[in-house]
Structure 1
Amino acid sequence: MAVIWGLDLREIQWGKFASKNMFDPQWYLRREKMIIYQMAMIFMVVSESVGTAALSDYVDQQDYLERYYPGSHIHNNDIVGIASFNIFMGVSVATIFGAAFFFDLFWPDRYESPGVKLAWKISAVAVCIGTFADALAYTVIVATHKCWVDGVSGDEESMLLRNAGQPSWVYRHNPKAVASIVLLWVGLVFTIASTFILFKYYAHLEAFGPKSHAALAAEKGQEEQVSVSDPPKPTPPPVPQYPENPNYFSDKYTPAETVV
């Protein structure tokens, strides 16, 4: 199978998703990454999904009312815009930490150049900042804003408001929008935790490599045990020839004590 960017695609196997491999303690922060990265992805994706449902409801409501009241215009761009930005941030977090999850799962001992490591760090910080801005703006808009209408007046406006139906024009009364915000704040917490873990892992990687301290200590202990139990045998010195070696026997020499 092909090797792309130094990554052997043969390592992509279903067996890697087994808990024995996912939580293998020989890799540094392996358990933390497998859990926290997934939590960041899950909560952000669920938040964007619920927010998409709320966004769709407001867009459908606007289309319906403006179709039956041609002179009217429903102003809900604030909720539509922030919900759209929430979708973008959910996809961004899932892309960054989802990629980190799969790379660590399949190739935990891969080589990464300094530029690649810097890109991971910048991306992680960027999604943290973006997610925080998303959560803050989303919370303010839902808590304080509401839809409003212009282009109609009098009886027509009263009729339009009666026919508005769901979702509520007051955003904080919309359970989907509120649920999306709650999930978003939880996702932000896990996104920040994921960024902290990523930075901590790279600091360890540059100093000790991808293995955990326990694995490195075990490997060192095995090496020391092998060196003690099976010491190398010294090379015997060459046997000196006669007359330096009095025990050496050869027909070419006659011992001095046999000469009369």
Structure 2
Amino acid sequence: MAVIWGLDLREIKWSKFASKNMFDRQWYLRREKMIIYQLAMISMVCSESVGTAALSAYVDQQDHLESVYPPAHVHNNDIVGIASFNIFMGVSVATIFGAAFFFDLFWPERHESHGVKLAWRISAVAVCVGTLADALAFTIIAAMRECWVDGVTGEELARVLREAGKPNLKYRHNARIVAAVVFLWVGLVFTIASTYILFKSYAHNEVFGPKSHEALSAEKRTDAEKVLQPSSTPPPPVPQFPENPNYFSDKYTRREDVI
């Protein structure tokens, strides 16, 4: 298969999802990444999914009431806006830390330039700030705001409110809205934790590389054992001399030529 951006696509295989590979201790913070990244993504996806269901219900309610009572106008832009922003943040967190998850899973020893590392850090901080703003705004709107209707008064307004039914015009009484907010705060916690792990991992990689301290220590012990191990190369042959060790000296004493 092709090599794209220095990444060998042959490394993309199902066996990488085995627990022995995902939680291999030879890579620094491997287990923490595989768990925390996924919890951040799952929590945010749950929040945006439940929030999307609530958003759709309020939009359908508005369309129905305004079509039945043309003078009426339902004001729910606050919940529609924050639920839409929540969808954006859910996708952003899933994109950033989902990509980090798969890159670390398939190519833990990949080389990244300074610009790429900086982009990872900036993206992680950006989604943290965005998720925090999302959580605060969603909580305030859900707890303190509600839909309201204008354009009709008196008995007609009472009929409109009776026909509104579900979802509840008060956001705090909507179970889906409450669930979306709860999942969002959980997702924020894991998003911040994921950002911390990403920064800590890069700080370690720049000094020691992607392998854990345990793996590096094991490699050093192995190298030391190889150095101390006796050489298997046979010693050089011992030169063979004549039986008489004084042969050359005797010949020299007798002044005989030795050929």
- Give the structure-1-normalised TM-score: 0.91
Answering whether residue 65 of structure 2 is matched by residue 79 of structure 1, we say no
Query: Which residue does 1:190 correspond to in 2?
Result: 190
Structure 1 position 122, deviation (Å): 0.3
Q: Which amino acid is 2:252 matched to?
A: A
Give the Cα–Cα distance (whole angstroms) in 2 for the partners of residues 134 and 254 of structure 1.
Answer: 104
Structure 2 match to 1:15: 15
> Deviation per CA, 1:82-134, whole angstroms, max 9, x where unpaired?
00000000000000000000000000000001110000000000000000000
User: 1:255: how far off?
Assistant: 4.1
- Report the residue type matching 2:6 in the other structure: G
1:259 aligns with 2:219: no
- For residue 108 of structure 2, what is the aligned residue in structure 1? 108
Cα 1:165–1:232 shift into 2, 3 Å: same
The separation in 1 between residues aligned to 2:119 and 2:134, in whole angstroms, is 22
How many residues matched? 249
- Structure 1 residue 45 displacement after superposition: 0.2
Greater Cα shift, 155-164 or 199-208:
155-164
**Distance in structure 1 (CA, Å) of the matches to 2:197 and 2:247:** 71
- CA distance in structure 2 between the aligned counterparts of 1:148 and 1:66, rounded to whole angstroms: 12
CA–CA distance in structure 2, aligned partners of residues 226 and 203 of structure 1: 31
Query: How many Å separate the matches in 1 of 2:65 and 2:177?
Result: 21
How far, CA to CA, are the matches of 2:145 and 2:113 in structure 1?
Answer: 47
Shift of 1:175: 0.4
- C-alpha change, 1:111 and 1:248, in structure 2 (3 Å) is farther
* Unpaired runs of at least 5, structure 2: 240-244
Cα deviations by residue, 1:121-160 (Å, 9 ceiling, x for unpaired): 0000000000000000000000000001111112111110
Mapped partners of 1:136, 1:92: distance in 2: 17
Runs ≥4 in structure 1, deviation > 4 angstroms? Answer: 231-236, 246-249
After superposition, residues 115-154 of structure 1 pair within 5 angstroms as 115-154=115-154
Question: Within the alignment, does 1:3 sit opposite 2:32 as a pair?
Answer: no
SS in 2 for 1:112: coil
Cα displacement (A) at 1:256:
2.4
Alignment partner, residue 229 of structure 1 = 229
Secondary structure of the equivalent of 1:74?
A: strand
The residue number in structure 1 matching 2:91 is 91
Counterpart of 1:154 in structure 2: which amino acid?
Answer: G
- 3-state DSSP class of the match of 1:109? coil
Matches of 2:39 and 2:31 in 1, distance apart? 12
Deviation at 1:247, TM superposition (A): 8.0
Deviations 1:212-235 (A, max 9, x none): 000000000000001001359799
Q: Which residue of 2 aligns with 1:27?
A: 27
Aligned to 2:149, the other structure's residue is in SS state strand
The residue aligned with 2:242 is none
Residues in 1 aligned to 2:175 and 2:63: alpha-carbon distance in whole angstroms: 21
Residues 182-232 of structure 1: CA distance to partner in whole angstroms, max 9, x if unpaired?
Answer: 000000000000000000000000010000000000000000001001359
CA 247–2 in structure 1, closer or farther in 2 if over 3 Å, else same: farther
RMSD: 2.0
SS at match of 1:166: coil
Match of 1:224, SS state, is: helix
Letter of the 1:16 partner, please give it: K
Q: 1:247 to 1:179 in 2, by over 3 A?
A: farther
- Aligned-partner SS, 1:259: coil
